[in-house]
Structure 1
Amino acid sequence: MSAGRWSDLLPRLLSAIVMLVVGAVEIWLGGIWFAVLIAAASGGMVWELVRMLRPDEPAQAMQLGVMSAVAVLVATQLPPVWIGPVLVSPVLSGLFQMPAAARVRYGLFSLWVLCAGFAFVWLRNEMGLAWILWVIGVVVVTDIAGYFAGKIIGGPKLWPRVSPKKTWSGSSAGWVAAAVTGGLFAASLGLAPLVAVLLSVAISMASQAGDIAESALKRQVGVKDSSALIPGHGGLLDRFDGMLGAAAAFLIYVTFLG
């Protein structure tokens, strides 16, 4: 194994430690503290999205990023009837400002980010600590297992056209790690072990789908990373695309399965 294959490990680890400490404190505090963190991250991801779609309009990216952060924060404090209109407002505003070729991408990705941000705040503050730790844990172990299995085992690529680094071995390792995590959390969630395992694998697959969707976007617009905010990880979208996918899956679970 050459050193080059592991050259990004140290900055990834250091960045991950910082994010882990900050995230752990905010998750523990919950309430408005956690809502502010998630709102800021959501706004940052929309800022990155607009920068990728319209690199010649930095002011527009900042404007929509701030609008998105405010929308997520305000939505978490409102009655249910107002949540949808508030979350959709930055999406509609951006659609009017985007050129025709970028509207679909902006609309889909910005709505995804805003709904996922709201979902994480709702998950922490309404469902409780165990549920959000489970979702985050599934995404994290999926990423870690996939990273090391992909580096060590390698093998056929999952979807080389879209995400050239993803392998079947890494994806499969992520599913196994997620299943184990689900089994460990089953009692805390009040779920039957088999249900927790199956749901964890579904969340894991959704997180990988989020990663692939973001990779496809980057290839379409011709960038390597969504930004350079996080050393070793790229941008917020690069780091948290899996969380976005997991949040979408959890919303579907809550909406249709209760």
Structure 2
Amino acid sequence: MARSWEDLTARVISGVAMVAVGLTVIWLGGTALRLGFALVVGGMVWELVRLLTPEARKSALAMAGTAGVALLGALYLPMLMALPLLLAPAMAGIAWVPRHRVLYLTFTAMILVAAFGMVQLREVSGMGWLLWLVLVVVATDIAGYFAGRAIGGPKFWPRVSPKKTWSGTVAGWIAAGLVGAVFAAQSEVGYSLIGLSIAVSMASQMGDMAESAMKRRVGAKDSSTLIPGHGGLLDRFDGMLGGAVFLLLIGPWAGLPVGTF
């Protein structure tokens, strides 16, 4: 049992630091928010290229810079003009990535679209909605981690993610529903937000599984070693990608009011 908790200290310290930085950037908004997301996007694309083609060091840096700049440019353009710029790094990278091009194309597009959607959520719908999204994904991850380690039981999908259990998966849904219940009392959406929160939790778990499948495909344990106890940025924010893309797709039909909290 002690062995299963051996990474807890590093994980907690890193997690607290990331939460503090993330909440500060979300609260500040504006340029700080946009620059923060651009840096994270660049780091994730750098990890992605290094995962798929470890020898392509220069290509990884070039594509990371291109992705960060593309996101910043898209955030200052009208929506319809921004869309081609968001997808451009994924398309351009095909010439730089000699292997696993479908994986590169898919994940790069997801990273940029998710980041763009999260910034738009903060700027258009208000800080509260971005905070809700972040807390749903974080609660899903924390509850899944502790329930999976403490309860254990049948594995969820051992071929893709050997450590994930059904107990951790269901605990993530419950935690997300509780976050939704808290925010429901402060919003016009009402308690239907609980259902949306659980759906976002499931989407975040799908993002986690997609990244796990990619790592198994290329024979890697973590996307990098940038974050002690967590691996890399992709390891930490894979769930956020899934949740953000899902919310971006269903947002127009979910009835999220603008600027309510």
Coarse TM-score class (shorter-chain normalised) = over 0.9
Aligned counterpart in structure 1 of residue 182 of structure 2, from 181, 184, 207? 184
In structure 1, give the amino acid aligned to 2:132: W
Q: How far is 1:40 from its partner?
A: 0.7
* 2:196 maps to 1:199: yes
Deviation digits for residues 196-227 of structure 1 (CA, Å, limit 9, x no counterpart): 01100000000000000000000000000000
Query: TM-score w.r.t. structure 1 length?
Result: 0.96
* 2:162 maps to 1:164: yes
In structure 2, give the amino acid aligned to 1:187: A
Answer whether contact 1:150 1:166 (CA < 8 A) is retained.
yes
In structure 2, give the amino acid aligned to 1:10: T
Q: How far is 1:255 from its partner?
A: 4.1
Secondary structure at the residue paired with 2:33?
helix
Q: How far is 1:97 from its partner?
A: 2.2
Distance 1:188 1:225 in 2: 38
Equivalent residue for 2:71? 72
Extract unaligned runs of 5+ from structure 2: 256-261
User: Across the two proteins, how many residue pairs are aligned to each other?
Assistant: 255
Q: How far is 1:95 from its partner?
A: 1.1
CA RMSD of aligned residues (A): 1.0
Task: Please say which of residues 246-255 and 207-216 is displaced more in the overlay.
Answer: 246-255
Secondary structure at the residue paired with 1:164?
strand
Secondary structure at the residue paired with 1:237?
helix
Aligned counterpart in structure 1 of residue 133 of structure 2, from 132, 135, 142? 135
* Sequence identity (%): 52
Distance 1:97 1:37 in 2: 25
Q: How far is 1:254 from its partner?
A: 1.6
Equivalent residue for 1:111? 109
Distance 1:164 1:197 in 2: 29
Distance 2:185 2:65 in 1: 40
Deviation digits for residues 90-141 of structure 1 (CA, Å, limit 9, x no counterpart): 1111012222x41111100100001011111111111101101111110111
Equivalent residue for 1:88? 87
Deviation digits for residues 33-73 of structure 1 (CA, Å, limit 9, x no counterpart): 11110111011101100001110110000000010011111
Secondary structure at the residue paired with 1:166?
strand
Equivalent residue for 2:236? 239
**What are the within-5 Å matches in structure 2 for residues 244-255 of structure 1?**
244-255=241-252
In structure 2, give the amino acid aligned to 1:216: A
Secondary structure at the residue paired with 2:186?
helix
* 2:173 maps to 1:175: yes
Deviation digits for residues 134-164 of structure 1 (CA, Å, limit 9, x no counterpart): 1111011111111110011000000000001
Answer whether contact 1:130 1:188 (CA < 8 A) is retained.
no
Q: How far is 1:257 from its partner?
A: 4.2
* 2:122 maps to 1:124: yes
Q: How far is 1:256 from its partner?
A: 4.5
Query: TM-score w.r.t. structure 2 length?
Result: 0.95
Equivalent residue for 1:217? 214
